[in-house]
Structure 1
Amino acid sequence: MTSEVTDTATVYIGLTARTADLPRRDLMLVWDERFGWYVAIEPRGDDRPPVICHLRDRIAPPPAAVAQFVTDVLGGHRRGRLSPVPAQLDRATLAAHMTEIRS
Structure 2
Amino acid sequence: MIPLLTGIDRDHGLRSGLTGYLAAVSAAVGVGEESCTVDLDAPASAYIALDVRLSRHPGRDMALLWDERHGWAFAMETHSGEDLLVLAYLGGDLVPGPSRVRGFVSAIRSAGGASAPPVPPDLRGDRGELLDRLRRHRRIFPYSFRMG
TM-score in terms of structure 2 length: 0.61
Corresponding residue of 1:29: 64
* Alpha-carbon separation, structure 2, partners of 1:79 and 1:95: 33
* Alpha-carbon separation, structure 2, partners of 1:100 and 1:78: 31
Structure 1: tracts of 5 or more residues without a match: none
Structure 1 residue 31 displacement after superposition: 0.4
**Deviation digits for residues 25-47 of structure 1 (CA, Å, limit 9, x no counterpart):** 00010000111101110133343
Are 1:100 and 2:125 matched, yes or no?
Answer: no
* Alpha-carbon separation, structure 1, partners of 2:115 and 2:126: 28
Q: Percent identity?
A: 29
Size of the aligned set, in residue pairs, is 102
Q: Please point out which of 98, 120, 132 is paired with 1:83.
A: 120
* Alpha-carbon separation, structure 2, partners of 1:29 and 1:58: 15
Are 1:42 and 2:80 matched, yes or no?
Answer: no
Given the superposition, is the C-alpha separation of residues 49 and 100 from structure 1 closer, same or farther in structure 2, using an over 3 Å criterion? same
**Deviation digits for residues 42-71 of structure 1 (CA, Å, limit 9, x no counterpart):** 133343322111101211111111111011
Structure 1 residue 101 displacement after superposition: 3.0
Structure ranking higher in helix proportion: 2
Aligned structure 1 segments of 4 or more residues deviating by more than 3 angstroms:
77-80
Structure ranking higher in strand proportion: 1
